[in-house]
Amino acid sequence: MERGKMAEAESLETAAEHERILREIESTDTACIGPTLRSVYDGEEHGRFMEKLETRIRNHDREIEKMCNFHYQGFVDSITELLKVRGEAQKLKNQVTDTNRKLQHEGKELVIAMEELKQCRLQQRNISATVDKLMLCLPVLEMYSKLRDQMKTKRHYPALKTLEHLEHTYLPQVSHYRFCKVMVDNIPKLREEIKDVSMSDLKDFLESIRKHSDKIGETAMKQAQQQRNLDNIILQQPRIGSKRKPKKDAYTIFDTEIGSTSPKSEQDSGILDVEDEEDDEEVPGAQDLVDFSPVYRCLHIYSVLGARETFENYYRKQRRKQARLVLQPPSNMHETLDGYRKYFNQIVGFFVVEDHILHTTQGLVNRAYIDELWEMALSKTIAALRTHSSYCSDPNLVLDLKNLIVLFADTLQVYGFPVNQLFDMLLEIRDQYSETLLKKWSGIFRNILDSDNYSPIPVTSEEIYKKVVGQFPFQDTELEKQPFPKKFPFSEFVPKVYNQIKEFIYACLKFSEDLHLSSTEVDDMIRKSTNLLLTRTLSSSLQNVIKRKNIGLTELVQIIINTTHLEKSCKYLEEFITNITNVLPETVHTTKLYGTTTFKDARHAAEEEIYTNLNQKIDQFLQLADYDWMTGDLGNKASDYLVDLIAFLRNTFAVFTHLPGKVAQTACMSACKHLATSLMQLLLEAEVRQLTLGALQQFNLDVRECEQFARSGPVPGFQEDTLQLAFIDLRQLLDLFLQWDWSTYLADYGQPTCKYLRVNPVTALTLLEKMKDTSRKNNMFAQFRKNERDKQKLIDTVAKQLRGLISQHS
User: The dihedral of CA 761, 767, 773, 777: what is its sign?
Assistant: negative
Rounded CA-CA distance 704/717 in Å is 22
**Integer angstrom CA distances of residue 586 from 124, 283, 502, 580:** 112, 48, 21, 16
Read off the pLDDT of each residue in 736-740 and give the average, rounded to a whole number: 86
Contact 747, 785 (CB under 8 A): no
Q: What are phi and psi of 32, to 5 degrees?
A: -105, 15
Rounded CA-CA distance 352/309 in Å is 23
- The set of residues, in sequence order, having a beta carbon less than 8 Å from that of 548 and lying 6+ positions away, is none
Rounded CA-CA distance 805/810 in Å is 8
pLDDT for res 786: 59
- The region that residue 713 occupies, defined by phi over 0 for left and psi between -120 and 50 for alpha, beta otherwise, is left
Reported as type and span, the H/E element at residue 459 is strand 458-459
**Long-range contacts, 699-705 (Cβ 8 Å, 24+):** 699/627, 699/734, 700/734, 700/738, 701/635, 701/636, 701/637, 701/638, 701/639, 702/638, 702/639, 702/642, 703/679, 703/727, 703/730, 703/731, 703/734, 704/638, 705/638, 705/642, 705/643, 705/646
Nearest partner of 771 among 633, 625, 630, judged by Cα: 630
DSSP secondary structure code for residue 435 in this structure: H
- The set of residues, in sequence order, having a beta carbon less than 8 Å from that of 697 and lying 6+ positions away, is 634, 635, 738
Contact 411, 348 (CB under 8 A): yes
Nearest partner of 564 among 482, 658, 702, 646, judged by Cα: 658
Contact 398, 389 (CB under 8 A): yes
> Could you give the percent of the chain with pLDDT greater than 70?
86
Nearest partner of 701 among 633, 617, 795, judged by Cα: 633
Burial classification of residue 757, based on how many CB atoms lie within 10 Å of its CB (0-12 exposed, 13-18 middle, 19 or more buried): middle
Rounded CA-CA distance 193/648 in Å is 106
pLDDT for res 669: 86
Q: Residue type for 660, please?
A: P
CB atoms within 10 A of CB 499: 13
Q: What are phi and psi of 252, to 5 degrees?
A: -120, 10
DSSP secondary structure code for residue 536 in this structure: I
Nearest partner of 268 among 279, 254, 284, 278, judged by Cα: 254
User: The dihedral of CA 206, 207, 213, 215: what is its sign?
Assistant: negative
User: The dihedral of CA 796, 801, 807, 810: what is its sign?
Assistant: negative
pLDDT for res 496: 92
Q: What are phi and psi of 202, to 5 degrees?
A: -65, -40
Nearest partner of 199 among 323, 290, 313, judged by Cα: 313
pLDDT for res 574: 84
pLDDT for res 388: 81
Rounded CA-CA distance 238/225 in Å is 19
pLDDT for res 503: 92
| Alpha helices (runs of H) in 455-547, residue ranges in sequence order | 462-471, 477-481, 493-512, 519-532, 539-546
Burial classification of residue 414, based on how many CB atoms lie within 10 Å of its CB (0-12 exposed, 13-18 middle, 19 or more buried): middle
Contact 732, 748 (CB under 8 A): no
Reported as type and span, the H/E element at residue 176 is none
Contact 347, 326 (CB under 8 A): yes
Reported as type and span, the H/E element at residue 344 is helix 337-360
Residue 247 has pLDDT above 60, yes or no: no
Rounded CA-CA distance 382/371 in Å is 16
CB atoms within 10 A of CB 218: 21
Q: Where is pLDDT greater, at 681 or 750? A: 681
Q: How confident is the model at residue 500 (pLDDT cuts 50, 70, 90)?
A: very high
Read off the pLDDT of each residue in 752-765 and give the average, rounded to a whole number: 85
Read off the pLDDT of each residue in 558-583 and give the average, rounded to a whole number: 85
Q: Where is pLDDT greater, at 534 or 86? A: 534
Q: Where is pLDDT greater, at 188 or 221? A: 221
Q: Where is pLDDT greater, at 726 or 173? A: 726
Q: Where is pLDDT greater, at 592 or 669? A: 669
pLDDT tens-digit readout, 167-182: 777 767 776 777 777 7
pLDDT for res 682: 85
**Integer angstrom CA distances of residue 696 from 385, 450, 474, 517, 795:** 78, 48, 55, 78, 16
Q: Where is pLDDT greater, at 30 or 619? A: 619
Contact 217, 349 (CB under 8 A): yes
Q: How confident is the model at residue 27 (pLDDT cuts 50, 70, 90)?
A: confident
Residue 405 has pLDDT above 80, yes or no: yes
* Domains of the chain and any CATH numbers: 177-230+287-417 (no CATH), 435-561 (1.10.357.30), 742-809 (no CATH)
pLDDT for res 254: 33
Q: Residue type for 98, please?
A: D
DSSP secondary structure code for residue 173 in this structure: G
Q: Where is pLDDT greater, at 810 or 183? A: 183
| 3-7-8 Cα angle (round to 5) | 115
pLDDT tens-digit readout, 363-398: 788 888 888 888 888 888 888 888 887 777 788 888
243-257, 487-501, 578-592, 703-717: the lowest-pLDDT one: 243-257
Query: What is the four-CA torsion angle of 217, 222, 223, 224, rounded to 10 degrees?
Result: 90
Contact 277, 284 (CB under 8 A): yes
The whole-chain average pLDDT of the chain stands at 78
Residue 450 has pLDDT above 80, yes or no: yes
pLDDT for res 257: 33
Q: How confident is the model at residue 246 (pLDDT cuts 50, 70, 90)?
A: very low
Nearest partner of 667 among 714, 607, 619, judged by Cα: 607
Our measurement of the distance from residue 474's CA atom to the centroid of its chain's CA atoms, rounded to an integer in Å, reads 37
Residue 618 has pLDDT above 60, yes or no: yes
Read off the pLDDT of each residue in 145-154 and give the average, rounded to a whole number: 76
Contact 630, 567 (CB under 8 A): no
pLDDT tens-digit readout, 251-309: 333 333 333 333 333 334 444 443 434 444 455 555 567 778 788 888 877 777 778 88
User: The dihedral of CA 232, 234, 235, 237: what is its sign?
Assistant: positive
pLDDT for res 495: 92
Q: Where is pLDDT greater, at 180 or 752? A: 752
Read off the pLDDT of each residue in 189-197 and give the average, rounded to a whole number: 76
Rounded CA-CA distance 98/116 in Å is 29
Q: Residue type for 331, please?
A: S
| 483-487-490 Cα angle (round to 5) | 150
Rounded CA-CA distance 706/694 in Å is 19
